[in-house]
Amino acid sequence: MKTILITGAAGGVTTMLRPLLRPFYRLRLSDRVAVPSPTVDEDVVQAELGDLSALRRVVAGVDGIVHFGGYSREADWATIHDANIVGAYNVFEAARLEGVKRIVFASSNHVVGFYPRTQTMPIEVTVRPDSRYGLSKAFGEALGSLYADKYGLEVLSIRIGHVLPKPFDKRRLAIWISARDLAQLVRIGLEHPEIRNQVIYGMSDNKRAWWDNSNAFRLGYKPVDRSEDYAAEAIAADRDTTGDPRADLNQGGEFCIAETM
Ligand code: 15L
């Protein structure tokens, strides 16, 4: 069984992913805070993403890294810089120095959040970040490109939509992904022999999607969940309108206007 490091293992999304990945991998879990309810098979190590030497010890000997660590919403520059810019750099650098070839990077839809909702987009578009957070995820994708081209790492960046048991508004009907569909994409990122530096969207089989996810389908992705099953409830909730057209008309929603969250 391969050993896989999950960074940010105390987070909500990684907590949903752990039981879905455990049947296939020996999991090493890292976070700066305590990881909830580790099983006897999970190896927990506390580490700060800002500490490269500590990270080198954490990644040493693993077969792949699933990097979800960092800050997952909009915040002030110091927070984003330390957690997502320095943090992502250190993860890629630790991988290179310790000879770990595979990285699955948790990117975000907020890399392209200032595209209008009327546009259906392939992956190969110029980034239009909607926040310092989105900008930091674009930096992470660019790190993947550099480390693949220059050092031969194999990197899958997933522009994740929104991971929750079910989508709760119209925007999320377009971008939602279930935990099991995301786990499938993570496994593709860890296993697929043709990964060099690929970027894909992380969404389920969503009828109202804004993204063309051909890149993921080419790698064999077959989503099993559909946001449309929750459409009536999400539309009735009527949570979408902020009154600011930047948020209401663009894909990134409230990230297009928020300064912190
Ligand atoms: C993200 O990238 C965030 O990490 C998550 O908390 C959600 O806000 C999501 O995007 C979203 O766009 O709904």
CB 28 within 8 A of CB 45: yes
- Ligand 1, from 17, 74, 107, 108: best to mutate by most atoms within 8 Å of Cβ? 108
Residue 238: its pLDDT value, please? 80
The CATH class of 2-256 is: alpha beta
Task: Please list the pLDDT of the chain residue by residue as tens digits (261 residues).
Answer: 999 999 999 999 999 999 999 999 999 999 999 999 999 999 999 999 999 999 999 999 999 999 999 999 999 999 999 999 999 999 999 999 999 999 999 999 999 999 999 999 999 999 999 999 999 999 999 999 999 999 999 999 999 999 999 999 999 999 999 999 999 999 999 999 999 999 999 999 999 999 999 999 999 999 999 999 999 999 998 888 999 999 999 999 999 999 999
Q: Angle CA(193)–CA(26)–CA(13) in degrees, nearest 5?
A: 85
- Using CA atoms, how far apart are residues 245 and 40, in angstroms rounded to an integer? 50
72 lines ligand 1 (CB under 6 A): yes
- Residues 6 or more apart whose CB falls under 8 angstroms from that of 68 comprise 6, 7, 8, 9, 11, 13, 14, 17, 106
Compute φ and ψ for 249, nearest 5 degrees.
Answer: -105, -15
For the chain, the residue count is 261
Residue 230: its pLDDT value, please? 97
Annotation says 201 is catalytic: no
pTM of the model: 0.98
Distance in Å, CA 56 to ligand 1 centroid: 28
Q: Angle CA(229)–CA(166)–CA(66) in degrees, nearest 5?
A: 125
194 CB-side CA count, 13 A: 7
Residue 14: its pLDDT value, please? 98
Torsion of CA 171, 172, 174, 176, to 10 degrees: 160
Distance in Å, CA 110 to ligand 1 centroid: 8
164 lines ligand 1 (CB under 6 A): no
Residue 239: its pLDDT value, please? 82
Residue 53: its pLDDT value, please? 97
Q: What are the domain boundaries of the chain?
A: 2-256
**Antiparallel, parallel or unpaired: β 162-163 and 64-67:** unpaired
Q: Among the options 133, 147, 221, 230, which is catalytic?
A: 133
Count of C-beta atoms within a 10 Å radius of residue 36: 12
C-alpha to C-alpha distances, 153 to 46, 65, 197, nearest whole angstrom: 25, 11, 8
Q: Which two tokens stand for residue 215?
A: 């890149």
- Ligand 1, from 79, 158, 162, 251: best to mutate by most atoms within 8 Å of Cβ? 162
Residue 102: enclosing H or E segment and its boundaries? strand 102-108
DSSP of 160-206, one letter per residue? E-EESSS--SHHHHHHEE-HHHHHHHHHHHHH-TT-SEEEEEE--S-
Q: Which two tokens stand for residue 110?
A: 């907020």
